[in-house]
């Protein structure tokens, strides 16, 4: 991280004395100014009653931000596609790239590119849902184009109780805003949308296999939990699992993420969830590999997710990945299973034309869009 | 010494008569020939072939684009079919008449039919040329008429006022809503004895709007220099003066945003339409790995409209989605403004082509109003009516003059089209 020069800091201070604080986290003036504006709006807006003076609050917020607390945690929300999603410490902040992938998935589903799926009664399961942003956005995108979306079924699964709290909160907030809307606008059209949102639910379950799982856990496994719900089969499986290897976590991951976002949502081999030792992990990966994909530490969830997809007779899968090399490993893994008709890799912005500076993946896979490798999609 | 002496070239030509001027008068008005030009016929043939092909295509699979194209060219195809039918029947009659074995009764019947067949062919031919000539791009718009006095001082100002009253009377008679948008009266200092009325009618400038769809097409032939020859009210010695006034006819574009109809972004003809393929979208991505590795708050979106190079970037909102929507909104607005400007420039060009700097003189007239002979002559179509009052009162006579001009304009367009078709070959 290049050092901020004193003259630059002085210049920023002349514009606003709070900017040097924010520059510690933002590193460039434009985004620091934007963040200051958003923080000011927030401080003025929320503290009319409790604190009559908003300036101390703003200073406090800026101090926190200068230590690297994500702005999204300070403001309590992040925008995901067209939705505003509540988030806070203990849950992964929704990412713009995920929203692009999900929007593109919705448009491809509407075009019917993934075989004959009935969009009106589509069953979508999101594993490692976090704030619930993916099922909520997909619900928004799919329900607005269906004739009758009341049979649309979405389920979010997460292991963390904090994530489940935020997910149900977000669903409730969206429901409230829809109910408000239905009072003023055509209520008939919104009925299906509201009933499918009501039927959306979030459950707590663990995805990783019991053989490698810590014995003390009382969290149920995913498949038994689904059987308990009476819904063992699903059409679409989406997952944004933890995919950062512990080496990348130490090197490429930004400080704010490392220090403030939950490690359990980022690094799959987090010690307290499953693996007690590195050799155990290597043994497991070698076991699932079958020598084809050369899986690495960060890829721990993908073989398990593909097993689950088979068990749930899923027809379309979308997995978020870290980069093109991980995308290639996952794609090779999918191909080695020989149960999937096609595999595609999507970059950060799948709808934009490629600008040609991205690296090329291994293997002959179709790559769409511009930016880093972000998702792997497969369908039967 | 015996070499040929030098002779002045002019003397030589005069002696041999090489320079004798041929006193020929070229007809200034186009003769309306009934034969459709071969270039136009070729075009009609290709269009009707396309029509039949598209119709077949449409029968197999419905396609809105094909259907629309068929709608556009069906009038040409129908006119061409009529014309072919008329030609066939005429050739058949001619062959009957030429055949010596035809009996007398049939022959007399055929010869009586030839005339009607010929008129039918003529009608079909003119219908075909009309269908082929593309409509003026602004034909469906309402129009603005601007009248200004040109050469002739106060007399020209008086005549300009009379022209405005003429067009108002015409639109009143036809039931077209007309409104004077702006009137500037000239101060006529040399008013004669009973000149107060005339002074009121003396114009420096007037803009008349005729708010009827298609008014531009009906009146665009009026643009040009109108000449008047009469003894003016301001003249004391009874001499005939020649003065002129210029008339400009401009299309009147409906203003966006004032109407209650919603602006349509999807309509390619709308000012607000932006082809998404022409816009490059740049999203400020986080450098490095992205995804779970960073939690950027950068939501900036930049749109670049590639044909015009207009760039809009937006970073105010925390939501990238909202930034994108706002950026599109601004881009649409800027493009619409640019397009309106281009159109206004086009209108300006039109205005300049009507009245150039040196083209408002008495000689560059399009029409003469001669009070002495009670005559109105249009110099383009060569059409003359001897009903000056009828014209000035915006009556039937004016309409007849306008129709003759319209026919002349059509002729010019056909000629331009034929030369274009020939140039293509």
Q: Which residue bears the tokens 């043994």? A: A283
In this predicted structure, the answer to whether residue A121 has a pLDDT above a threshold of 70 is: yes
Of A84, A253, A265, the CB nearest to B293: A253
Domain boundaries, chain B: 38-132, 143-255+365-423, 276-350
- Give tens-digit pLDDT for A124-137: 999 999 999 999 99
Residues 67-106 of A with CB under 8 A from B: 70-72, 75, 78-79, 81-82, 84, 92-93, 95-99
Choose from A33, A81, A97 for mutation: most chain B CBs within 10 A.
A97
Residue B190 has pLDDT above 60, yes or no: no
Highest mean pLDDT among B253-267, B294-308, B325-339, B341-355: B294-308
Cα separation, B380 vs B236, in Å, equals: 33
Cα torsion A267, A273, A278, A281: sign: negative
Closest chain A residue to B285, measured at CA: A371
Q: How far is Cα A25 from Cα A109, in angstroms, rounded to an integer?
A: 39
On chain B, the residues whose CB falls within 8 A of the CB of A320 are 291-292
Helix or strand holding residue A14 (H, E): helix A6-15
CB of A103 closer than 8 Å to CB of A79: no
Number of H-type helices and E-type strands within chain B = 10, 11
Closest Cβ–Cβ partner in B285, B292, B318 for A244? B292
pLDDT for residue B405: 84
Is residue B188's pLDDT more than 60? no
Which chain B residues are within 8 Å of A102, Cβ to Cβ? none
* Distance to chain A for B351, nearest Cα, Å: 44
Q: The tokens of B267 are what?
A: 């309509």
Rounded to whole angstroms, the Cα distance separating A361 from A369 reads 13
Residues B81/B89, Cβ–Cβ less than 8 Å: no
Contact (CB, 8 A) for B161 and B199: no
Of A115-119, B15-19, B34-38, B61-65, minimum mean pLDDT range: B34-38
Residue B320: is its pLDDT beyond 60?
yes
| Closest by Cβ to A79, choosing from B281, B298, B320 | B320
Chain segment A13-45, per-residue pLDDT in tens: 998 999 999 999 888 888 898 999 999 989 888
Residue A359's alpha-carbon distances to A327, A354, B207, in angstroms, are 12, 11, 65
Lowest mean pLDDT among A330-339, B11-20, B222-231, B235-244: B11-20
- Across the interface, whether the CB atoms of B295 and A79 are under 8 A apart is answered no
> Position of tokens 């067209």?
A82
Q: What is the mean pLDDT of chain A?
A: 85
Is the Cα dihedral A336, A338, A340, A344 positive or negative?
Answer: positive
Contact A31 B297 (CB under 8 A): yes
Q: Two tokens at A315?
A: 């027809």
Which secondary-structure segment (H or E) carries B38? helix B38-60
Closest Cα partner for B290 from A269, A250, A104, A252? A252
Residues of B345-366 as b/e, b for ≥16 C-beta within 10 angstroms?
Answer: eebeebeeebbeeebbebebbb
DSSP E strand boundaries for B231-309? 241-251, 279-283, 301-305
Sheet of A366-368: strands edge to edge? Answer: A201-204, A153-158, A123-127, A236-239, A316-320, A370-379, A342-349, A366-368
The answer, for A330 touching chain B at a CB cutoff of 8 Å, is: no
Q: What is the pLDDT of residue A78?
A: 93
To the nearest whole Å, the CA of B315 is away from the closest chain A CA by 8
What's the confidence (pLDDT) of residue B215? 83
pLDDT at B196: 43
Q: B200 or B99, which is more confident?
A: B99
Chain B: residue whose CA lies nearest to A322: B291
Nearest to B294 among A30, A257, A320 (CB): A257
Would you list the domain boundaries of chain A? 6-62, 78-379
- Using 50, 70 and 90 to split pLDDT, how confident is the model at A361? low
Are residues B291 and A95, on separate chains, in Cβ contact within 8 Å?
Answer: yes
In this complex, which of A34, A81, A257 lies closest to B315 when CB atoms are compared? A34
**Are B234 and B188 in contact, with CB atoms under 8 Å apart?**
yes
Closest chain A residue by Cα to residue B281:
A352
Is B292's CB within 8 Å of A374's CB? no
Closest by Cβ to B293, choosing from A93, A99, A254: A254
Higher pLDDT, B114 or A237: A237
Q: How far is CA B82 from the centre of its chain?
A: 27
Task: Please report residues of B whose CB lies closer than 8 A to that of A36.
Answer: none
Contact A95 B295 (CB under 8 A): yes
Q: Looking at the partner chain, which of B285, B292, B321 has a beta carbon nearest the beta carbon of A79?
A: B321
Identify from B281, B285, B316, B318 which residue to disrupt to test chain A contact, counting A C-beta atoms within 10 A and taking the largest count. Answer: B318
**CB atoms near residue B275 (< 10 Å):** 10
Given an 8 Å threshold on Cβ–Cβ distance, is B292 in contact with A256? no
Sort out which chain A residues have CB atoms less than 8 A from B296's CB and list them.
Answer: 96
Identical topology for domains B143-255+365-423 and B276-350: no
A374 closest CB neighbour out of B291, B297, B320:
B291
User: Region B218-245: what's the mean pLDDT?
Assistant: 83
Residues shown for chain A: 380
Give the three-class secondary structure for B255.
coil
A106-138: buried (b, 16+ CB within 10 Å) or exposed (e) per residue? bebbeeeebeebebbebbbbbbbbbbbbbbbbb
Cα four-point dihedral sign B259, B264, B269, B271:
positive
pLDDT at B32: 46
pLDDT confidence band for A85 (50 / 70 / 90): very high
Q: Return the residue of B nearest to A38 by Cα.
A: B318
Looking at CATH, the fold of the domain delimited by B143-255+365-423 is given as Alpha-Beta Plaits (3.30.70)
Query: What whole-number distance in Å separates Cα of residue A296 and Cα of residue B408?
Result: 83
pLDDT at B256 over 70: no
Across the interface, whether the CB atoms of A242 and B315 are under 8 A apart is answered: no
| Highest mean pLDDT: which range of A231-240, B19-28, B411-420 | A231-240
pLDDT band at A268 (very low <50, low <70, confident <90, very high): confident
Could you name the CATH architecture of B276-350?
2-Layer Sandwich (3.30)
Compute CA distances B53 → B15, B68, B84, B133, whole Å. 67, 14, 18, 22
CB proximity A34 to B under 8 Å:
yes
CA dihedral sign, ordered B59, B62, B64, B65: negative
Residue A252 has its nearest CB partner, among B289, B297, B298, at B289
Average pLDDT over residues A217-246: 89
Q: What average pLDDT is seen over chain B?
A: 76
Q: Which residues contact A80 (CB under 8 A, 6 or more apart)?
A: A94, A96, A98, A99, A131, A133, A136, A137
Tell me the C-alpha distance between A98 and A183, whole Å.
Answer: 32
Which of A71-75, A280-284, B73-77 has the least mean pLDDT?
Answer: A280-284
Give the residue among B30, B88, B77 at the shortest CA–CA distance from B54. Answer: B77
Are B297 and A72 inside 8 Å of each other by CB?
yes
Contact B144, B249 (CB under 8 A): yes
A47 confidence band (pLDDT: 50, 70, 90): low
Q: Do the Cβ atoms of A96 and B293 come within 8 Å?
A: no
Q: Does A242 contact chain B (CB < 8 Å)?
A: yes
Q: Do A35 and B297 touch (CB under 8 A)?
A: yes
Q: If you average pLDDT over residues B181-207, what whole number do you get?
A: 61
Task: Render pLDDT for B160-181 as a digit per residue (tens, 0 to 9).
Answer: 888 888 988 888 888 888 887 7
Chain B residue with CA closest to A75: the answer is B318
CA distance A81 to chain B (A): 6
Give percent above pLDDT 70 in chain B: 78
Residue B63 is given by DSSP the state -
Q: Which residues of chain B does A101 touch, with a Cβ-Cβ cutoff of 8 Å?
A: none
How many Cβ atoms sit within 10 Å of the Cβ of residue A277? 9
- Got the DSSP string for A97-120? HHHHHHHHHHHHHHHTTTSS--GG
- A51 Cα to chain B: minimum distance (Å): 25
What is the mean pLDDT of the segment spanning B124-148? 76
With residue A197 as reference, give the H or E element that holds it.
Answer: helix A187-199
**Distance of residue B293 Cα from the nearest chain A Cα, in angstroms:** 4
CB contact under 8 A, A322 and B289: yes
pLDDT band (50, 70, 90) for residue B424: low
Q: What is the mean pLDDT of residues B45-58?
A: 83
CB < 8 Å to B319, chain A: 79, 82, 84
pLDDT band at B30 (very low <50, low <70, confident <90, very high): very low
Out of A78, A97, A261, closest to residue B291 by CB: A97
Helix (H, G, I), strand (E, B) or coil at B299: coil
For chain A, counts of helices (H) and of strands (E): 15, 10
Most confident of A211-215, A258-262, A285-289, B116-120: A258-262
Residue found under tokens 């993908």: A302
Which residues in chain B are contacts of A323 at CB distance < 8 A? 289, 291
Does the beta-carbon distance from B292 to A38 stay under 8 Å? no
Residues of B in contact with A261 (CB under 8 A): 295
Cβ atoms of residues B403 and B391 within 8 Å: no
What is the Cα–Cα distance from B71 to B67, expressed in whole angstroms?
6
Q: What is the model's pLDDT at position A235?
A: 92
- B264-308 per-position pLDDT tens digit: 555 666 666 778 888 888 887 666 678 888 888 888 888 998 888
pLDDT at residue A260, as a whole number: 94
A179 close contact with B: CB closer than 8 A = no
At residue B311, the pLDDT reads: 87
Q: pLDDT digit string (tens) for B345-396?
A: 776 676 666 554 445 555 667 888 888 888 888 888 888 888 888 888 888 8
- Residue written as token pair 């010695």: B237
For domain A78-379, give the CATH number: 3.40.50.150
Residues of B with CB under 8 A from a CB of A: 281, 283, 285, 288-299, 315-322
Q: pLDDT band for B148, please (50, 70, 90 cuts).
A: confident
Which range is least confidently modeled, A47-51, A124-128, B54-58?
Answer: A47-51
Contacts of B294 in chain A (CB under 8 A): 253-254, 256-257
What number of C-beta contacts closer than 8 Å exist between A and B?
Answer: 98
Query: Taking the CA of residue B376 as centre, how many other CA atoms within 13 Å lie in the half-sphere pointing to its CB?
Result: 21
Across the interface, of B281, B295, B321, the residue whose CB is closest to A256 is B295
Query: Do the chains contact at A372 and B290, CB–CB below 8 Å?
Result: yes
Packed helices A29-46 and A6-15: angle between N→C axes, nearest 10 degrees: 40
């Amino acid at each position: 991280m290049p050092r901020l020069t004193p003259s630059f800091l002085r210049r920023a201070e002349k514009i606003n004395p709070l900017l040097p604080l924010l520059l510690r986290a933002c590193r460039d003036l434009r985004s620091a100014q934007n963040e200051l504006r958003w923080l000011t709006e927030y401080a003025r807006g929320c503290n009319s009653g409790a604190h009559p003076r908003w300036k101390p609050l703003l200073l406090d917020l800026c101090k926190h931000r200068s230590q690297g607390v994500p702005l999204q945690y300070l403001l309590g929300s992040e925008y995901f596609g067209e939705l505003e999603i509540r988030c806070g410490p203990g849950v992964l902040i929704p990412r713009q790239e995920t929203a692009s992938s999900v929007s593109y998935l919705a448009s491809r589903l509407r075009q019917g590119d993934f075989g004959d799926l009935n969009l009106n009664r589509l069953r979508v399961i999101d594993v490692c849902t976090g704030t619930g942003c993916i099922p909520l956005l997909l619900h928004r995108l799919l329900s607005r184009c269906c004739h009758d979306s009341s049979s649309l079924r979405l389920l979010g699964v997460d292991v963390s109780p904090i994530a489940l709290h935020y997910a149900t909160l977000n669903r409730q907030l969206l429901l409230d805003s829809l109910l408000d809307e239905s009072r003023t606008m055509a209520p008939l059209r919104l009925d299906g949308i509201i009933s499918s949102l009501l039927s959306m639910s979030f459950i707590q379950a663990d995805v990783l296999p019991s053989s490698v799982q810590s014995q003390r856990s009382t969290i149920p496994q995913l498949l038994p939990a689904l059987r308990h719900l009476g819904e063992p089969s699903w059409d679409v499986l989406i997952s944004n699992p933890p995919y950062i290897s512990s080496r990348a976590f130490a090197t490429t991951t930004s400080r704010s993420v490392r220090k403030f976002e939950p490690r359990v949502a980022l690094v799959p081999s987090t010690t307290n969830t499953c693996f007690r030792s590195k050799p155990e992990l290597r043994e497991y990966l070698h076991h699932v590999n079958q020598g084809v994909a050369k899986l690495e530490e960060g890829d721990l969830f993908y073989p398990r997710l593909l097993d689950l997809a088979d068990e749930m007779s899923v027809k379309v899968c979308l997995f978020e990945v870290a980069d093109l090399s991980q995308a290639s490993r996952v794609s090779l893994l999918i191909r080695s299973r020989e149960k999937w008709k096609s595999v595609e890799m999507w970059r950060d912005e799948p709808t934009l034309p490629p600008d040609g500076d991205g690296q090329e993946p291994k293997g002959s896979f179709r790559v769409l869009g511009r930016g880093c490798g972000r998702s792997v999609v497969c369908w039967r | 010494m015996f070499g040929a002496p030098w002779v002045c070239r002019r003397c030589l030509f005069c002696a041999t008569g090489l320079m004798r001027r041929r006193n020929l008068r070229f007809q200034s008005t186009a003769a309306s020939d009934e034969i459709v030009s071969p270039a136009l016929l070729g075009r009609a043939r290709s269009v009707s072939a396309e029509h039949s092909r598209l119709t077949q295509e449409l029968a197999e699979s419905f396609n809105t684009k094909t259907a629309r194209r068929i709608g556009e060219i069906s009038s040409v195809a129908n006119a061409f079919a009529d014309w072919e039918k008329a030609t066939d029947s005429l050739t058949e009659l001619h062959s009957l008449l030429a055949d010596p074995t035809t009996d007398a009764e049939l022959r007399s019947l055929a010869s009586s039919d030839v005339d009607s067949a010929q008129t039918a062919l003529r009608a079909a031919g003119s219908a075909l040329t009309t269908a082929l000539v593309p409509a003026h791009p602004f034909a469906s718009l309402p129009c603005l008429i601007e009248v200004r006095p040109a050469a002739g001082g106060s007399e020209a100002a008086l005549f300009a006022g009379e022209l405005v009253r003429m067009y108002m009377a015409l639109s009143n008679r036809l039931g077209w809503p007309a409104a004077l948008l702006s009137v500037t009266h000239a101060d006529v200092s040399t008013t004669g004895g009973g000149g107060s009325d005339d002074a009121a009618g003396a114009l420096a400038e007037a803009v008349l709007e005729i708010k009827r769809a298609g008014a531009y097409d009906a009146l665009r032939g009026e643009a040009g220099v109108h000449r008047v020859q009469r003894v003016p009210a301001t003249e004391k010695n009874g001499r005939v003066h020649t003065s002129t006034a210029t008339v400009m006819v401009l299309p009147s574009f409906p203003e966006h945003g004032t109407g209650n109809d919603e602006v349509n972004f999807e309509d390619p003809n709308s000012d607000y339409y932006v082809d998404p393929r022409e816009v490059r979208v740049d999203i400020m991505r986080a450098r490095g790995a992205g995804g779970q590795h960073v939690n950027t708050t950068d939501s900036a979106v930049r749109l670049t409209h590639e044909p015009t190079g207009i760039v809009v970037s937006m970073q105010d909102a925390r939501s990238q989605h909202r930034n994108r929507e706002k950026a599109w909104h601004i881009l649409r607005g800027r493009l619409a403004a640019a397009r309106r400007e281009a159109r206004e420039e086009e209108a300006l060009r039109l205005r300049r082509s009507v009245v150039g700097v040196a083209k408002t003189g008495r000689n560059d007239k399009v029409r003469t109003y001669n009070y002495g002979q009670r005559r109105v002559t249009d110099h383009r179509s060569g059409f003359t009516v001897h009903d000056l009052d009828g014209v000035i009162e915006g009556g039937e006579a004016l309409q007849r003059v306008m129709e003759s001009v319209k026919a002349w304009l059509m002729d010019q367009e056909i000629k331009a089209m034929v030369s274009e078709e020939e140039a293509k070959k």
